[in-house]
Amino acid sequence: MKGFYHRLTLKAGVLFVVLFLVGVSAQAASLVDKDILAASKQFIASLSVEQKAMAVVKYSQANAVKWTNLPCGLQCRVGILFGSLSAVQLVLAKNVAKVALGTAPGSGYDQVMGIMEADAFLGKGRKEYSSENYIIAFLGVPGEKGKWQLQIGGHHLALNLTFVDGKQVSASPFFMGLEPPENTTLKKNHDALVALLGSLTSNQVAKARLVEGYGDVFVGPGKDGAFPNVKVGLKGSSLTARQKAKVIDAILQWVHIANEATAKEIMKKYS
């Protein structure tokens, strides 16, 4: 894995996280994701010619960077809206997500569905929020040869899975957030980070605390790979064994969005 970055803010009841899991290991890449490919082809086959033209677009840098956490539908994304699909097509689209993501209870697919349900709740008072405003897109034609990318996105959600010759090689960039605070979809993630912070001494907290605050995601839409040149905060190598275990557990909660095979390989980098 070439790099990992995550930033968390908990402000006004909104939980945000961006993960850059760049370059799944060679062992994970050796796993041909036949289930994902089959589900993708089945969904695409259910589309009309017009729908297919929206859902399957060119694999290019211009299309790949069109991801965001904002509730802007197709104004800032490529793909086809969930709300424009028939009941059968919607089931097939969600099945693509199900086979591509983690299936453990309360993680992966369950979290994505929970985020969409939360947006449907927000949409009761504001039309720009809705579970129907999420998209699914294929950059390139899914196949066992060549390069293609699966995108699933909407408000508080951005999944970008890249495949080369039928093998998943990247699960990045990845964004997951949640609103309203009463929704417990990301409770495991929240609790793991709270436990980590609670294990730090006052001196460690002082070192970990940044002088400058941030009101938005530091490395996010339109800023892919713009990692800080200067590292600040508390070094993981300075933590006790117990604290390091809590760091691993916190990371695991976010990595579990990926399917089990990919998540297992990513976590080997931290064990």
Residue holding tokens 């699933």?
A: 152
Residue 255 to residues 32, 138, 189, 248, 261: CA-CA distances in angstroms? 20, 22, 10, 10, 11
pLDDT of amino acid 181: 82
pLDDT per residue over 138-163, tens digit each? Answer: 999 999 999 999 999 999 999 999 99
- Angle, helix 87-100 to helix 109-122, in steps of 10 degrees: 130
**155 and 76 Cβ atoms separated by less than 8 Å:** no
User: Which tokens go with 268?
Assistant: 């080997």
pLDDT per residue over 184-212, tens digit each? Answer: 999 999 999 999 999 999 999 999 998 87
pTM of the entire predicted model: 0.85
Maximum Cα–Cα distance across the chain: 61
pLDDT of amino acid 28: 44
In whole angstroms, give the CA distance from residue 6 to residue 29.
22
Nearest Cα to Cα of residue 112 among 126, 96, 101: 101
Q: Where are the domains of the chain?
A: 6-267
pLDDT of amino acid 32: 40
User: Which tokens go with 198?
Assistant: 């609670």
What parts of the chain have a pLDDT lower than 50? 1-18, 20-32
In whole angstroms, give the CA distance from residue 86 to residue 83.
8
In whole angstroms, give the CA distance from residue 159 to residue 149.
10
In whole angstroms, give the CA distance from residue 221 to residue 186.
21
**25 and 271 Cβ atoms separated by less than 8 Å:** no
What residues pair up with 149 in beta bridges, in sequence order?
A: 139, 162
In whole angstroms, give the CA distance from residue 137 to residue 63.
10
